[in-house]
Structure 1
């Protein structure tokens, strides 16, 4: 295989801002089909990105031998169904998070793909930010020494205004019971970075979540209503290498998109990465050492960027270009490498499931969860 042929399922906002631009800038890739149940959105995206074949039912691309990869960029409720069908049809799969709200179902698909020699990838956009990749290379080289502390934030003010229509929520959910929202939709990528940088096993978690904006407009209904969802949360995590970590997520915290910050402290040094569209760029990395404790900004080497890219680009297209290029390399090379895959997605979802269990029980929760979801 010398060229990867991709069918993108979903032609909405995120597909047009991240997925389709990401695939389009890689000369090793051809987007051969686009699928969406909305014919208007489908036609607009196909024209914008020059996709010749369009379908309104994803099943129409599964038996197509010219399709190597199915990219699932649909609403959350369709992720598991489309991913499972694509794996059963022998396709590599990129899927937006979460694959499923129960980590065991995500793990089941990870195992199904592995048994067929297929590669999978989750839409963990921020692990592919050049600043995050550079930080990981420093950590692997021993820059921080023995890890002590990790602090992870994913927060911005995307839905601080209750008049901004809220997506991906159930308007019929019981308002008496708070539902996970920010920690699942926003928290997953920073949880992924926490696990990736920690390089150790998570053993226990505790934390809480809150609903700060009690009523808001729901996109599905166009009406303002009581919506008891987690729009801000905090968690503490313990690892088997004695690392202690914290996670905080919110989409009602004032700040610029995407609002990621990852801080890693150890015996020899520390790394702080910030991903936010501010001050003319979208990312920074600052480091300090025990001998020079003042944090200074570092230049990000060109090797961590897509060809010709800079930090002045929009964050979504820049970071997703790296994600698509990474998946393309993994598939075309044919080796065992497959980072950020469904197994990693299952680990992140298990962490989220443990967070929720901790909140419901008002207690520490140990991992692995076993039968708990």
Structure 2
């Protein structure tokens, strides 16, 4: 192949902000079809992006041999169904997170895709930030030395105001049981970066969750009601080789969006990547060494940006353009490289499930998860 033909399933806000523009920015890609169950949203998106093939049923596209990639940008509840059907039809798949709340189901899809010679990718947007990619290159080159400590933060104040409408994740949820929310929807990107940078086996976790704002306006009804969900959490992780990690995620902590910060400390150096829009810049990287301990900002080399991209660009368009370009290169090159795939998604989801199990049991939980533990929280 020298060109990819992509169908985007789900034409809502995030598809229009990130997915479709990300694909269309790459001259090697053509977005040939859009799918959405809302005919009005679908028509508006088709006009906006100049896409003529529109359908409300993604199944109509699965037997089309000219379509190479199915991009799943639907609501979470449809991620697994569409991804599974696309893989069964022989399509490469990009899917927003999570593929499934049970990491074992995500892993099963990863194995099914691999058996068919297909590639998959998760919407881990922040992994593809130029600053994060540059940091990974420094880590791989030995800048950190022996890793000691990773600190990850996903902080924003998107729902600190209880009047801000929120989608009710599960209308039938037991109000007496605190449900995962922030750590699963917002913590996943920083967990992904932790695993990617550490490149070591996770061995055990412990932590807790909180519901700081109990009464919220529900988007579907416009009324305030009790939503017993995790809107703040903190976790400690142990890795093979002795490295320690910590994760904090919340959407009631004051700060700008997207609000991710990753810190990595080792025997030779340290680095801090901050993906927060400040003074018109969406990302920074600062480094220090054991011989020069004051952190200084580094310029991010051009090779880590998409064509025409810079740090003054909106974070979603910049980072997602890199994601789409990375997947395009992986597919057109035809080699074995496939970063941030469904197997990585399964690892991140298993970590989330381990965090939840630790909170439920009020104890350290071993990793990988035992089947009985996984069954309790999946």
Contact 1:171–1:227 under 8 Å retained in 2: no
Which residue of 1 is the match for residue 301 of structure 2?
A: 301
Measure how far apart 1:51 and its partner are: 0.9
Which residue of 1 is the match for residue 328 of structure 2?
A: 328
Measure how far apart 1:171 and its partner are: 2.9
Which residue of 2 is the match for residue 30 of structure 1?
A: 30
Which residue of 2 is the match for residue 16 of structure 1?
A: 16
Measure how far apart 1:370 and its partner are: 3.0
Which residue of 2 is the match for residue 73 of structure 1?
A: 73
Contact 1:233–1:250 under 8 Å retained in 2: yes
Contact 1:75–1:168 under 8 Å retained in 2: no
Which residue of 2 is the match for residue 215 of structure 1?
A: 215
Which residue of 2 is the match for residue 142 of structure 1?
A: 142
Measure how far apart 1:44 and its partner are: 1.1
Contact 1:171–1:218 under 8 Å retained in 2: no
Contact 1:152–1:263 under 8 Å retained in 2: yes
Measure how far apart 1:220 and its partner are: 2.5
Pair 310,130 (structure 1): closer, same or farther in 2 beyond 3 Å: same
Q: Counterparts of 1:240-259 in structure 2 under 5 Å?
A: 240-259=240-259
Which residue of 2 is the match for residue 108 of structure 1?
A: 108
TM-score (norm 1): 0.99
Measure how far apart 1:34 and its partner are: 0.2
Which residue of 2 is the match for residue 123 of structure 1?
A: 123
Which residue of 1 is the match for residue 193 of structure 2?
A: 193
Contact 1:171–1:220 under 8 Å retained in 2: no
CA distance in 1, matches of 2:259, 2:292: 27
Unaligned runs of 5+ in 2: none
Runs ≥4 in structure 1, deviation > 6 angstroms? none
CA distance in 1, matches of 2:220, 2:109: 29
Equivalent position SS for 1:262: strand
Measure how far apart 1:360 and its partner are: 0.1
RMSD: 0.7
Unaligned runs of 5+ in 1: none
CA distance in 2, matches of 1:345, 1:16: 23
CA distance in 2, matches of 1:219, 1:63: 36
Which residue of 1 is the match for residue 59 of structure 2?
A: 59
Contact 1:6–1:69 under 8 Å retained in 2: yes
CA distance in 1, matches of 2:61, 2:305: 32
TM-score (norm 2): 0.98
CA distance in 1, matches of 2:65, 2:168: 33
Which residue of 1 is the match for residue 279 of structure 2?
A: 279
CA distance in 2, matches of 1:229, 1:61: 37
CA distance in 2, matches of 1:69, 1:299: 34
Contact 1:76–1:168 under 8 Å retained in 2: no
Measure how far apart 1:167 and its partner are: 2.6
Measure how far apart 1:49 and its partner are: 1.0
- Does residue 316 in structure 1 map to residue 308 in structure 2? no
CA distance in 1, matches of 2:39, 2:281: 35
Which residue of 2 is the match for residue 204 of structure 1?
A: 204
Measure how far apart 1:366 and its partner are: 0.3
